[in-house]
Homo-oligomer: A and B are copies of this chain.
Amino acid sequence: MALIVQKYGGTSVGDVNRIKSVAQRVKETYAAGNQVIVVVSARSGVTNELIGRAKSLNPDPDDREMDLLLTVGEQETIALTAMALHALGVPAVSRTGKEAGILTDLAHTRARITSISGGDIKDQLDAGKVVILAGFQGYSPDGQITTLGRGGSDLSAIAISAALNADICQIYTDVDGVYTADPRVVEHASKLSEIAYEEMLELASSGSKVMQNRAVEFAQKFDVVFEVRSSFNNNPGTIVKEEAASMEDVVVSGVALDKNQAKVVVSDLPDHPGTAAELFNALADAGISVDMIVQNIGREGKANMTFTVPRDAINRAEKTVVELFPDEAQGKLFEASDIAKVSVVGVGMRTHTGVAAKLFAALAQAGVNIQLVSTSEIKIAVGIDPKDAEQATRIVHDAFDLGVESS
């Protein structure tokens, strides 16, 4: 008898018919002799509706009240899902995050899990019941309801899997799994049967938003094997797990495209220690997250620094740079413009050479100009003109033979 955790996102429980489908799938899993914990999100759209109402009443709503507000979404779906299971004759009981003993820190709206007791979930499972757990929520040491931030339901599922030592955690979503590239961009992209945590993390931070990184990091830390799969069909999904030797046979697992980046170039920086620290401290203080960073030497021994930020932070970034350098001789804003980032990711890069060369050659042959490059142990990312973004993604995908054979 296996313990299976199934997490269903907002689209998968979007209306009563979708909830019925979820209940049917849970019933099948339960009837096959498994213990089942079902983690559900709010119905799709509900969280945004609630935020909309809150913001129209108060542009800067209190975090504690916000958490109380947002957790109603999941509280609704756990009750409805339990009712749907009862209608199918499956014994089931719902539990809120607090009832499941998901203890967090005090940081309302972005709380971190500190421990999980599981409440009476183990007892309920042993009594033959399916347990429906509200995702996204926990409680702080002073008894207040907290939430885990965007994508928190994935984290709830991974965390309860770790706490109760589940055999597998299935993340049901509206896509079939993790693909070698976004199928909307690369028509013949293929689904990966398995992928390493680190690849998943790099793909996510490179624009493939299947899951939030926090949940993947948590899974990696506690060695929770999980599967990303669709709630709309029965296709096998993608297994995400610790890196295995066999994975290294594949040099590149996927190509990610992020079109929501902007590039900021600061020129005329004095080339001495501390300049970079000063610049990136100022950006951090302004709450701007910086992704790629490239430094090179410009004219007269002065340095140029290029970095990328989320596109919606570009105005703040420009303002920060201008205010930081009142004397333009000591650094000045040279350029700020939209950029697209194409990344190739694969744990095989650790043991294979020539990936960068192959990438650059493919782009050069297609006439795509590379504006900046950054690398990690298992990723190479290039910043290019947004107008070239989709074509470049397809070219790179082909260059590494990632596509499925067209039949």
Contact = CB atoms under 8 A, between A and B. Distances in A.
Contact of A76 (B59, B64, B72): B72
A164 interface: no
Interface stretch (A83-91, A213-221, A271-279, A386-394): A83-91
Nearest to A76: B72
B57 A68 contact: no
B69 A79 contact: yes
Interface string A288-310: 00000000000000000000000
A75 B69 CA distance: 7
Contact of A57 (B58, B80, B96): B80
A16 interface: yes
B68 A94 contact: yes
A366 B50 CA distance: 56
A76 B50 contact: yes
A128 to B, nearest CB: 16
Contacts of A82: 62, 65
Interface of A is mostly: helix
Interface in A248-277: none
24 contacts: A16-B53, A16-B57, A19-B57, A20-B57, A23-B57, A54-B80, A57-B83, A57-B84, A58-B86, A58-B87, A61-B83, A64-B93, A65-B79, A65-B94, A66-B83, A68-B75, A68-B78, A68-B79, A68-B94, A69-B76, A69-B79, A69-B83, A72-B75, A75-B75
A57 B80 CA distance: 7
Contacts of A16: 53, 56-57
Q: Which of A20, A58, A78, A87 has the most CB of B within 10 A?
A: A58
Contacts of A94: 65, 68
Interface residues of A, number: 33
Interface of A: 16, 19-20, 23, 50, 53-54, 56-59, 61-62, 64-66, 68-69, 71-72, 75-76, 78-80, 82-84, 86-87, 93-94, 96
A33 to B, nearest CB: 24
A66 B82 CA distance: 10
Contact of A53 (B54, B64, B80, B96): B80
A75 B229 CA distance: 33
The 5 closest A-B pairs by CB, nearest first: A69-B79, A72-B72, A58-B87, A58-B83, A57-B84
Contacts of A65: 79, 82-83, 86, 94
A56 B69 CA distance: 25
Nearest to A61: B83
Given A16-B57, A69-B83, 5 more contacts: A20-B57, A59-B87, A61-B83, A62-B83, A68-B94
